[in-house]
Each structure stands twice: as C-alpha cells, then as structure tokens.
Amino acid sequence: MLAEPAVDLPAVLADTQQVERVLANGLRVIVARDSDLPLVTADLTVRSGAAADPQGLAGTASMASELLTEGTTTRSATEIAAQTEALGANLGAGTITEIVA
C-alpha cells in the first residue's frame, strides 16, 4: 500500500482557516478559504500513480489521467473543453510517481 501523500497548502494560504472532512465514501476533502479574490480552485488527487502501475504495464496511470479530458459517452472532448472554458476554468490531468492529480 502506498503512503498517504502529504498535503501542503500554497504559502499564500498558510494563514487561512482549513477544514478537513472525510466523506462516507472515503473521499478526503480539505477546504481553505481565502476571500481576497473571487476565485475557486479545486484539485482532485488520487492515491495512486506510476508507482502503482501493474508489472509489465508501465504508463497505465499516466494514460488513465490523460484520458480524463478526452470525452465520455455523453460529452466529447470539445464539449468538455467548451463547457470548462465557459466557466472560466481550467481542466487538466497528469501523473507523478506517487499520485494522479
């Protein structure tokens, strides 16, 4: 089992109040409020990554993260991009050795 990754808030949020909850489904949610700017940032981190790729299947986590923005059965990649842009948001995915972000 992989060790739980440390969660470090950006320095700009170091003085903010943080609230952490674990939902019934096991999802860990950390909220840090900063009302100086009218922005919302969300980051989803999965406790898996390249270190958890099956033997002989290197790159599985990387490929899975890249597919997150490639469309679904109900929305194409172009539709997802347009809807994300209409919200003034960014959507991206990538992997590092320990986690998928």
3-state secondary structure of 66: helix
pLDDT class for 76, splitting at 50, 70, 90?
very high
pLDDT class for 97, splitting at 50, 70, 90?
low
Contact 94/59 with Cβ under 8 angstroms?
no
Give the ranges where the chain is alpha helix by DSSP (H): 60-67, 77-86
SS (H, E, C) 40-54: CCCCCCECCCHHHCC
* Domain boundaries along the sequence of the chain: 11-86
Mean pLDDT in the chain?
Answer: 77
